[in-house]
Chains A and B, each alone.
Chain A
């Protein structure tokens, strides 16, 4: 494990050159409920390169958790495809999916709920190996010790049960469990949202270290902008089931082109940011997913909405290589003053 204070991150914001480990295209998910059909995810496409972290950020109801669940096939998509390496897993059966899961794992938000309280940590970490018939009993035990070491837990942890650990320690166990099968892709659904700042820093550092040593790709779902910015190489911003902007982390933070991205960055105060928001902020609430706005779904709250926005959903367009936006009037100009001060300070 590296001991230097600064880590080199993989190349940022360049167009993806290596063969993607995960390719999602045109993915849609619909729920049928008593109140009607909810279009939770609408035509979402992205690729994930080896060793890369793609952050997915947005507010409640934007579909980021639905996306995470659809990618690991906890939900069935209604349209689109999901490719894991060369395999199309969009409609894979439970049996076919089992093999794919060796390469595709997930860390859930609340390890207290996802780790069986009756099992010891050792058994919980050995379970994925047992399911896939990997190794002998002794080999699995050795692997458990190795996993505990990787996530910074002492070997004695194997004999304990999940409730004996703190929130941060439990999330380490959740991460170790997801890494047990040496997957190529790990979906992380708000893995640090329930943690205190100092513990959050421990987990974020751990994730960065693990990615560097294992070369695993992360799909990182989050709502905290500074956390997503910190861990991601590229970031997709979602609003009401659609990706509205996708770009390299720096490109997106310096030159946010979608008015929603700008409002989001402006609304989230940070200790090293400007002391007051630059704009007036968004008014009103996110519209109900049962009754989606026509055209561009953001037009009801958008400060620059025009007639065309109400009629036509904007298509994704490239602003610069690797930076895409879905807006009829993207701000392709220079850095907005507020963001400039945020970055320079």
Chain B
């Protein structure tokens, strides 16, 4: 009983089933979400190879039904544009706008939330006032107004969606940072002499990330919906094909040829559903991370 006994450790746990990804894959709904999302990503990636021409060009007879002509498995619209090609190329635009817009609102939301939660006081009051301002304006009308003023293009639509959808995220990040800022985790860092930047970026934000990741997947879904709505109203980028725009174009023939609007509509539903399933799965997995065994 002399030296402090060297303590033996439990065996290392390298079980894939216990990692976040492993646990996510074991949930059927999250797995379905991931598979659907992977499908949409593949469509976007192979759009140029599968459909070489411009999806906005007339390709065949107008208003072909799905299956009517083997060259156009999903049929054509009233301008004779290939719907399958439109779905593939539209996946690109939808994912691009959804992803980048979510990224823009993540950067703004995390930045404002982190500053507000960490520094508190006057900084917090000022930033939260701005956040409230953004929360009180209905986001879709706000986006609509911005796009109308700026002229619709992929860049302006993305920016407008990003700028109008960060306020909820900022509040979420603020609450998490506030909690962690007063935790022993942050206090231990202060005692070691760590700078604010180190405490925020290396300890607080990584630990506040779980709910942010969950809401990011919902943000992408919402951005895709918003872009579709804008395109449906004719405020999409006229130079590219998008799912919302396709629904809009199919509106005129909805009584005679409902498939023209329905097919891109189904694509939107599947994309949004996939992102929501993924978000729910991530929420379950990340929030129960503490309870192991």
Taken together as a complex, chains A and B put the C-alpha atoms of A99 and B206 apart, in Å, by: 27
Interface flag for B149 (CB, 8 Å):
no
- For A159, the chain B residues whose CB sits under 8 A away are 12
Given A116-B207, A118-B206, residue A202 in contact with residue B190 (CB < 8 A): no
Given A72-B191, A101-B192, residue A169 in contact with residue B184 (CB < 8 A): no
User: Which residue of chain A lies nearest to B11 when distances are taken between CB atoms in the complex?
Assistant: A164
Tell whether, in the assembled complex, residue B187 and residue A74 are in contact, meaning their CB atoms are under 8 Å apart. yes
Size band of the interface chain A makes with B: 35 or more
Specify which of B185, B191, B198 is in contact with A113 (CB 8 Å cutoff).
B185
Give, as a whole number of angstroms, the nearest-CB distance from B185 to chain A. Answer: 6
Tell whether, in the assembled complex, residue B13 and residue A114 are in contact, meaning their CB atoms are under 8 Å apart. no
Give, as a whole number of angstroms, the nearest-CB distance from B290 to chain A. Answer: 8
Identify which of residues 135-164 in chain A touch chain B, using a CB-to-CB cut-off of 8 Å.
Answer: 151-154, 156-157, 159-160, 163-164
Give, as a whole number of angstroms, the nearest-CB distance from A167 to chain B. Answer: 12
Given A127-B192, A128-B193, residue A114 in contact with residue B9 (CB < 8 A): no
Tell whether, in the assembled complex, residue A3 and residue B3 are in contact, meaning their CB atoms are under 8 Å apart. yes
Tell whether, in the assembled complex, residue A74 and residue B190 are in contact, meaning their CB atoms are under 8 Å apart. yes
Binds B, one of A51-59, A102-110, A216-224, A238-246: A102-110
- For B194, the chain A residues whose CB sits under 8 A away are 127, 131
Taken together as a complex, chains A and B put the C-alpha atoms of A240 and B120 apart, in Å, by: 30
Tell whether, in the assembled complex, residue A114 and residue B187 are in contact, meaning their CB atoms are under 8 Å apart. yes
Interface flag for B10 (CB, 8 Å):
yes
Tell whether, in the assembled complex, residue A114 and residue B184 are in contact, meaning their CB atoms are under 8 Å apart. yes
Taken together as a complex, chains A and B put the C-alpha atoms of A66 and B104 apart, in Å, by: 42
Given A74-B191, A118-B207, A163-B292, residue A1 in contact with residue B3 (CB < 8 A): yes
Tell whether, in the assembled complex, residue A114 and residue B185 are in contact, meaning their CB atoms are under 8 Å apart. yes
Tell whether, in the assembled complex, residue A117 and residue B207 are in contact, meaning their CB atoms are under 8 Å apart. yes
Tell whether, in the assembled complex, residue B6 and residue A106 are in contact, meaning their CB atoms are under 8 Å apart. no
Interface flag for A304 (CB, 8 Å):
no
Taken together as a complex, chains A and B put the C-alpha atoms of A282 and B194 apart, in Å, by: 45
Interface flag for B151 (CB, 8 Å):
no
Give, as a whole number of angstroms, the nearest-CB distance from B193 to chain A. Answer: 4
- For B3, the chain A residues whose CB sits under 8 A away are 1, 3, 152
Taken together as a complex, chains A and B put the C-alpha atoms of A101 and B7 apart, in Å, by: 29
Specify which of A3, A102, A106, A157 is in contact with B9 (CB 8 Å cutoff).
A157
Interface flag for B239 (CB, 8 Å):
no
- For B193, the chain A residues whose CB sits under 8 A away are 97-99, 101-102, 128, 131-132
User: Which residue of chain B lies nearest to A112 when distances are taken between CB atoms in the complex?
Assistant: B184
Taken together as a complex, chains A and B put the C-alpha atoms of A172 and B193 apart, in Å, by: 20
Interface flag for A5 (CB, 8 Å):
yes
Chain B interface main SS type? loop
Tell whether, in the assembled complex, residue B8 and residue A114 are in contact, meaning their CB atoms are under 8 Å apart. no
- For A105, the chain B residues whose CB sits under 8 A away are 191-192
Identify which of residues 108-130 in chain A touch chain B, using a CB-to-CB cut-off of 8 Å.
Answer: 108-110, 113-118, 127-128
Given A101-B193, A131-B194, A132-B193, residue A154 in contact with residue B6 (CB < 8 A): yes
User: Which residue of chain B lies nearest to A108 when distances are taken between CB atoms in the complex?
Assistant: B184
Interface string of A82-98 (1 = CB under 8 A from B): 00000000000000011
Interface flag for A205 (CB, 8 Å):
yes
Tell whether, in the assembled complex, residue B185 and residue A101 are in contact, meaning their CB atoms are under 8 Å apart. no
Interface flag for B4 (CB, 8 Å):
yes
Identify which of residues 193-225 in chain B touch chain A, using a CB-to-CB cut-off of 8 Å.
Answer: 193-195, 198, 203, 206-207
Taken together as a complex, chains A and B put the C-alpha atoms of A151 and B13 apart, in Å, by: 23
Tell whether, in the assembled complex, residue B190 and residue A205 are in contact, meaning their CB atoms are under 8 Å apart. no
Give, as a whole number of angstroms, the nearest-CB distance from A322 to chain B. Answer: 30
Interface flag for A79 (CB, 8 Å):
no
Identify which of residues 1-59 in chain B touch chain A, using a CB-to-CB cut-off of 8 Å.
Answer: 1-10, 12-13
Taken together as a complex, chains A and B put the C-alpha atoms of A209 and B13 apart, in Å, by: 32
Interface string of A196-238 (1 = CB under 8 A from B): 0000001001100100000000000000000000000000000
Given A5-B2, A163-B292, residue A113 in contact with residue B184 (CB < 8 A): yes
Tell whether, in the assembled complex, residue B187 and residue A108 are in contact, meaning their CB atoms are under 8 Å apart. yes
Give, as a whole number of angstroms, the nearest-CB distance from B285 to chain A. Answer: 15
- For A177, the chain B residues whose CB sits under 8 A away are 188, 192
- For A329, the chain B residues whose CB sits under 8 A away are none
Interface flag for A165 (CB, 8 Å):
yes
Tell whether, in the assembled complex, residue A205 and residue B4 are in contact, meaning their CB atoms are under 8 Å apart. yes
Give, as a whole number of angstroms, the nearest-CB distance from B5 to chain A. Answer: 7
- For A205, the chain B residues whose CB sits under 8 A away are 4
Taken together as a complex, chains A and B put the C-alpha atoms of A114 and B207 apart, in Å, by: 12
Taken together as a complex, chains A and B put the C-alpha atoms of A5 and B191 apart, in Å, by: 34
Tell whether, in the assembled complex, residue B192 and residue A128 are in contact, meaning their CB atoms are under 8 Å apart. yes
Give, as a whole number of angstroms, the nearest-CB distance from B94 to chain A. Answer: 33
Taken together as a complex, chains A and B put the C-alpha atoms of A112 and B132 apart, in Å, by: 36
- For B184, the chain A residues whose CB sits under 8 A away are 108-110, 113-114
Interface flag for B183 (CB, 8 Å):
yes
> Residues of A with Cβ closer than 8 Å to B?
1-5, 72, 74, 97-99, 101-102, 105-106, 108-110, 113-118, 127-128, 131-132, 151-154, 156-157, 159-160, 163-165, 168-169, 172, 177, 181, 202, 205-206, 209
**Interface pairs (6), CB distance under 8 Å:** A74-B190, A114-B184, A118-B206, A128-B193, A131-B194, A154-B9
> Residues of B with Cβ closer than 8 Å to A?
1-10, 12-13, 183-185, 187-188, 190-195, 198, 203, 206-207, 292
**A-B residue pairs, 7 tightest by C-beta:** A152-B4, A3-B2, A114-B184, A114-B188, A101-B193, A98-B193, A113-B184
Known: A106-B188, A116-B207, A128-B193. 4 other contacts (CB 8 A): A5-B2, A101-B193, A106-B191, A114-B188
